[in-house]
Amino acid sequence: AEGRGREEGDTSASSTPSASWRFTIRERRYCVPKDFQHPGGQGWMRQHTGKDISHLFPSGTDGGVDGEGCGKSAVHFHSSAAVRLLERFHRLEKEQSESGDAEGSEVDKKDGAGSKVEVVNGVSIDLCKPLVFQVGKLRENYQEWVHKPELGKPRFFRSEFCEQLSKTKWWVVPLVWIPVSIYLVFLSLWRCEGLVGTGDGLGSVINKRGNLAAILLICFVFGTLFWSLVEYAVHRFMFHVDTSSYWCNTLHFMFHGCHHKFPMDDMRLVMPPAGALPIVLMVYAVEYLFFGAYLAPVVLAGTLTGYMVYDMIHYHCHFSEFTNRIEWLRQIRSSHMDHHYRDFTKGFGISTPTWDFVLSTQRSKASLL
């Protein structure tokens, strides 16, 4: 049971009984908000609400047990991270029962999910305060801390201007990059048209417009496929680099660590265009080196198209129900949830698992969270 909190800057999980899913696990009652985004989809919550689900949470096991299925899978896995997050909802219901207040007391709303101050080897992190310039002081303990997921949408910066810049709606990605991709295709077309019929270099291949269209299409498709390698390499070797110094921790948290610590924060899931731009420029430099000024733009257009598909799949893995209705998307979602909640050293590919299989970083067993 993993998901997101209710309000920005609030890492609690307060709820009211009238708007909650209720479960029992080994005679312990849990009250989970109905706006809670379960990684496996709301179907799991609807199917098991009001029931004893002890069989889905084997004691002392970070693995799977045979149980009721949802969809095609008959096996349900919960990680230790899921169990840790679920316990917060148990404490909340216990406090509400003791207070007798159906709406929850003011203390419930603020502290129902436990303390917002985390202490890691004597270093305190206040989740109610801007986080970016706190996390660096964790030093060598940062990696352990950042890979223990939490609920909620934290604040990053004191400055409201910087805070808003750190957020991105999912639809901003296609809104920005689709026009750029179209421009790049026409840029290559415009540059190459002057070569049609010439006998020098690339012009000897593009001897008529039909050949030009085919070459541009092949380059575009290559760029789209090339994205899968870029995606894997950036995710594994840049976003999951092992950091321990103050500024390296800080930068890592801003670019990717925040997504692992708060995986259901929908405003910090897709990459802001300003943050993606340096990576885009680096990729273009490589493509320019191999394809030159005439074809590099259309190759980059293909790469950007692959990137947009990746970011949309990534977003919907976290927040859309339809990914459970299509088998290959369900498998992608399951693998990505494993990456977040079970083993962050596996499953770096999101849009395709190809490079995980080639480089032996695929998850060790199938599961559905």
Query: Which helix (H) or strand (E) element contains residue 244?
Result: none
Does residue 264 surpass a pLDDT of 50? yes
- As a whole-number percent, the residues of the chain with pLDDT over 70 amount to 76
Phi, psi of 363, rounded to the nearest 5 degrees: -65, 150
The counts of H helices and E strands in the chain are 13, 6
CA 280 to chain centre: 19
Which pTM does this prediction carry?
A: 0.79
Confidence bin at 65 (pLDDT 50/70/90):
very low
pLDDT of 159 reads: 95
Any residues with CB less than 8 A from the CB of 122 and at least 6 apart, and which? none
- Please give the Cα distance from 204 to 290 (Å, whole number): 18
**What mean pLDDT comes out for the span 88-94?**
60
Strands 28-33, 20-25: pairing is antiparallel
Burial 72-109 (b: 16+ CB within 10 A, else e): ebeebbbbebbbebbbbbbbbbebbeeeeeeebbeebb
Please name the residue ranges forming H helices in 167-272: 172-193, 202-205, 209-233, 246-252, 258-261
What six digits make up the tokens of 363?
Answer: 């998850």
Mean pLDDT of all residues in the chain? Answer: 80
325 φψ region: left (φ > 0), alpha (ψ -120 to 50), beta (else): alpha
Helix (H, G, I), strand (E, B) or coil at 120: strand
- Please give the Cα distance from 26 to 52 (Å, whole number): 8
State the sign of the Cα–Cα–Cα–Cα dihedral 245, 250, 255, 260.
positive
Confidence bin at 342 (pLDDT 50/70/90):
confident
pLDDT tens digits for range 124-181: 999 999 999 999 999 999 999 999 998 889 999 999 999 998 999 999 999 999 999 9
Angle 327-341/273-319 helices, nearest 10 degrees? Answer: 110
Mean pLDDT is lowest, of 17-31, 83-97, 185-199, 316-330, for 83-97
Any residues with CB less than 8 A from the CB of 2 and at least 6 apart, and which? 38, 39, 81, 82, 85, 149, 263, 264, 337, 340, 341, 369
Closest CA to 272 of 354, 172, 363: 172
